[in-house]
Amino acid sequence: MSAMQKPVSAAALRAPEYVRAIAPYVGGKPIEEVARELNLDPATIIKLASNENPRGPSPKVLAAIAVAAADVTRYPDGNGFALKAALSSRLGVRPEQIVLGNGSNDVLELVTQAFLTPGDHAVYSQYAFIVYPLATQARGALGIEVPAKDHGHDLDAMREAITPRTRLVFIANPNNPTGTWLAGDAVESFIARVPRDVIIVLDEAYNEFLDPSDQVASTAWISRYPNLIVTHTFSKAHGLAALRIGYGVMDASVADLLNRVRQPFNVNSLAQAAALAALDDVQYVEDSRRLNRNGMRQLQAGLQALSVRSLPSHGNFILVEVEDALTIHQSLLRQGVIVRPVANYGLPAWLRVTVGTPAENERFLAALATARDSQATGDARAH
C-alpha cells in the first residue's frame, strides 16, 4: 500500500464491486477551498466552474426564501403541492406527472433507481453529462457510451445501440460540457424510433439559455410517448444551485414509480418557496438569457482574439481548447479564476468556462492570456 492510499475496512470491501469501481464525481472547486489552498482572499476569486447564474437569484426569490425561513421547524410538503400546481399550469401537464427532486440530479438518480437492475443497459453519448454513467454504474447496470458526432449526440448511432437489454436512454439537450444542441424535430423523431418499453430521459437543464425560437414544448410529447421523461432545473438560469431543486415531467404511471423510491421529504421548504417565486419572475430569466448571450459573444470574441479554439455553445458555458489544460488551470487558479478541467470527460485538452458577468469574462480572458504567456516562457511560478 502506498503512503497515499487509505486503508479499506473489511466492511467497505463487502460493497458491490460496481460501487467500489465508481470514480468519484469531481465538482467545480468552491471559492473558499481555493482561497485556503492558495492563500488568496476569497473576495478576489471568481468562480466560472459550475454553470451557475452570475446574477444569483432574483430579489423576489430572495424575499420568498426569507419568508419561508421563518418556518423551518416543520417538515416540507413532501408532495410539493403548490409548486407542482404552478408547474402544472405553466407546462400544461397534470400535477401527478411531475416529480420534484433535490436538484434535477436527484430525478436522474430516481430514474436509474426505479428502472435499472444489475446487467441492464443504459445508453448515452460520449461527452454527455457525467452523472449518467455514474448513476448507471451505481445500479450495477452497464453504460453503453455511443461515440459522439462533432462533440454532440449521434442520434442514429444511439438508436442503433438500443437492444432488448436497454432500459434507459439519456439525452442532454443542450449537452454539458460540450454545449451542443439538437433541434426539437430531430429529438422528437429519435423518440418516435425508440421502443416504447425503453425510458428516454431528455435532460433540459440548460433549456432557458436557448433562444426562445429554439425552445420546444417537449413535455407535450409525453402524451404520445409515455416512455419520455423531461427534466428541468432551477440551478442554472434561475440561480438556485445551492438550494437543490429540479423536477421531471413524465407519464403519471412513471411518476408514481419514482415517487415510491424517492425520500418522502427530498425537497426542502426553502427550495420549494424559492422555485415557486422563480417561476413567476419570467423577466428575470429573460434578462439572464440576454446577459448570457452577450457574455457568450464577449468570450467568443476574446478567445478568437487570443487564437484559442472554442466550441459553439448553446448553454451558459463554453469549452475552450488549451494545449496543457492542467497547467493553464493551475495558473488560472493562482490568479483567482476557477474554471473546470474536463479530462474526466475524455477531453484532457479542454477547459469548461461558465459565462460570467462582463467583468468576470474580461478577467478570465486576461488571466488566460497571462497563463498562456507564462506557459510559453516556461515560467512555472507565474500566474
Chain residues that interact with ligand PLP, rule: CB under 6 A? 51, 103-105, 129, 172, 176, 203, 205, 233, 235, 241, 246
Cis peptide before 57 (omega within 30 of 0): no
Shortest distance, position 377 Cβ to ligand PLP, whole Å: 36
Shortest distance, position 235 Cβ to ligand PLP, whole Å: 3
Give me the half-sphere count of Cα atoms (radius 13 Å) on the Cβ side of residue 28: 20
Sheet holding 317-321, edge to edge: 317-321, 350-354, 340-341
Shortest distance, position 129 Cβ to ligand PLP, whole Å: 4
Which residues have C-beta within 8 Å of that of residue 354, sequence separation ≥ 6?
Answer: 47, 48, 49, 50, 51, 52, 54, 316, 317, 339, 340
Q: Which residue, 121 or 352, has its beta carbon nearer to ligand PLP? A: 352
Residue type, 307: S
Q: Which residues of 228-239 are buried (b: 16+ CB within 10 A; e: fewer)?
A: bbbbbbbbbbbb
Q: What is the Cα–Cα distance from 192 to 203, expressed in whole angstroms? A: 17
Sign for the CA dihedral angle at 264, 266, 270, 274 comes to negative
Q: Which residue, 241 or 371, has its beta carbon nearer to ligand PLP? A: 241
Q: Which residue, 241 or 311, has its beta carbon nearer to ligand PLP? A: 241
Shortest distance, position 142 Cβ to ligand PLP, whole Å: 21
Cis peptide before 348 (omega within 30 of 0): no
Which uninterrupted H or E stretch holds 372?
Answer: helix 358-376
Beta bridge partners of 144: 123
Q: Which residue, 184 or 327, has its beta carbon nearer to ligand PLP? A: 184
Q: Which residue, 219 or 233, has its beta carbon nearer to ligand PLP? A: 233
Beta bridge partners of 122: 143, 168
**Cell match 492558495: residue?**
38
Q: Which residue, 191 or 240, has its beta carbon nearer to ligand PLP? A: 240
> Cβ-count burial of 293 within 10 angstroms (0-12 exposed, 13-18 middle, 19+ buried)?
middle
DSSP reduced 3-state for 342: coil
Shortest distance, position 178 Cβ to ligand PLP, whole Å: 10
Q: Which residue, 146 or 371, has its beta carbon nearer to ligand PLP? A: 146
Q: What is the Cα–Cα distance from 212 to 286, expressed in whole angstroms? A: 9
Shortest distance, position 248 Cβ to ligand PLP, whole Å: 10
Shortest distance, position 58 Cβ to ligand PLP, whole Å: 17
Shortest distance, position 180 Cβ to ligand PLP, whole Å: 11
DSSP reduced 3-state for 61: helix
The CA-CA-CA angle for residues 251, 226, 275, to 5°, reads 40
Q: Which residue, 29 or 372, has its beta carbon nearer to ligand PLP? A: 29
Shortest distance, position 366 Cβ to ligand PLP, whole Å: 26
State which residue has the least CB distance to ligand PLP. Answer: 103
Whether 266 contacts 101, CB under 8 Å: yes
Shortest distance, position 104 Cβ to ligand PLP, whole Å: 3
Q: Which residue, 233 or 313, has its beta carbon nearer to ligand PLP? A: 233
Q: Which residue, 87 or 172, has its beta carbon nearer to ligand PLP? A: 172
